[in-house]
Amino acid sequence: MRRITHNPAGWLAIPASLLLLLIAGCASTENPTPHQTPAAQSANHEETARHVPGSPFEKVFDGQADIVVLTFFDLYCVACQQSADAFKVLYSRVQQDLPGIETQMMGIGVGDTEFEIQVFQRKYALPYSCLPDPDKQFEEPFALRGTPTVLVFHRDSGKCVEVFRNEGRFRTSDIDKLLETVRKTVSP
């Protein structure tokens, strides 16, 4: 018969486990996601786009729109699927509620193939164009930490400056915040 006794130091399990997880967490940051601030990122946008033909920046900032709205999604991301209706509403609100402001809206399927973004676009009837990004080339330049992410850029004196960022599920209540930010940004 195997007899055992309770370990009186059992309460140590909690702080010990916390410590152990901290250690595990530190060990897992070998390849950290870049966490440049949006401002730091935007400062690099024009230069990157200018010098790297075919770069992610060039692909999305090649027009002349004052405001560029980017919706990053992934077909397999549940929160992206749940945000799709709000993306659609955002598109129509951007057209209606920002008169006089030239806007461009684009979706990017992070990690998605052409076929996968077509599935997403068709299923949720997204009325704006979407780009596939199977190799996740947009992830680092736009400091993406995951999907869904909505970014808004303002083109000012030839530079595109990030003025709005929403990470996680995008709700219709976020649309008003986005539009308000745009209005404040472009108003003199």
Partner 1 sequence: MMKLKVTSKLLLGLAAIAPFAGYATNGDNMIAIGPKSRAMGGLSIAYPQDAITAVFGNPASLCFTKFCPSTQADLGLTLFMPDVSAEVTNPLNPSETLKASSNDKIYPIPSIGWAKPFGEDNRGRFGLAAYGVSGLGVNYRQANIGGMLTDLAPIEMIPPAFQQAPIIAGSYTSLQIMKFSPSVAWQVAPNVSVGGALHIDYAILDMGTGESDGFGWGVQLGMVYRPTEDTSIGLVYVSPQEVTHDGVVNLGMGPQDLALEAPQQIGAGIAYEMDEGRLMIGADIRWINWADATGYKDFDWANQTVIALGLQYEAIEDKLVLRAGYNYGKNPVREHNGWDGSFDIASGMPNDMKNVQGIIMPTYFYETFRIIGFPAIVESHVTFGMTYHVSEKFALSLAFMAALEKDIVETGTGPTGAPTTLKSTLSETSIELGFAWKY
Q: Which residues bind partner 1 (CB under 8 A)?
A: 1-7, 9-14, 16-18, 20-21, 23-25, 27-29, 74-79, 81-82, 84-86, 111-112, 119, 145-148, 167-169, 171-173
Residue 135 corresponds to which tokens in the numbers above? Answer: 């190799």
CB of 66 or CB of 162, closer to partner 1: 162
Return the CA Rg of the chain. Answer: 21
Residue 2 corresponds to which tokens in the numbers above? Answer: 């195997």
Peptide bond into 32 cis (omega under 30): no
CB of 58 or CB of 174, closer to partner 1: 174
In whole angstroms, how close is the CB of 84 to partner 1 at the nearest point?
A: 7
In whole angstroms, how close is the CB of 49 to partner 1 at the nearest point?
A: 26
CB 49 within 8 A of CB 63: no
Q: How far apart are CA 106 and CA 89, in angstroms?
A: 14
CB of 61 or CB of 72, closer to partner 1: 72
Residue 175: other Cβ atoms inside 10 A:
21
In whole angstroms, how close is the CB of 80 to partner 1 at the nearest point?
A: 9
CB of 17 or CB of 92, closer to partner 1: 17
Residue 151 corresponds to which tokens in the numbers above? Answer: 């970014």
In whole angstroms, how close is the CB of 188 to partner 1 at the nearest point?
A: 31
In whole angstroms, how close is the CB of 57 to partner 1 at the nearest point?
A: 22
Residues in contact with 56: Cβ distance below 8 Å, sequence separation at least 6, in sequence order: 133, 137, 138, 141, 142
CB of 104 or CB of 147, closer to partner 1: 147
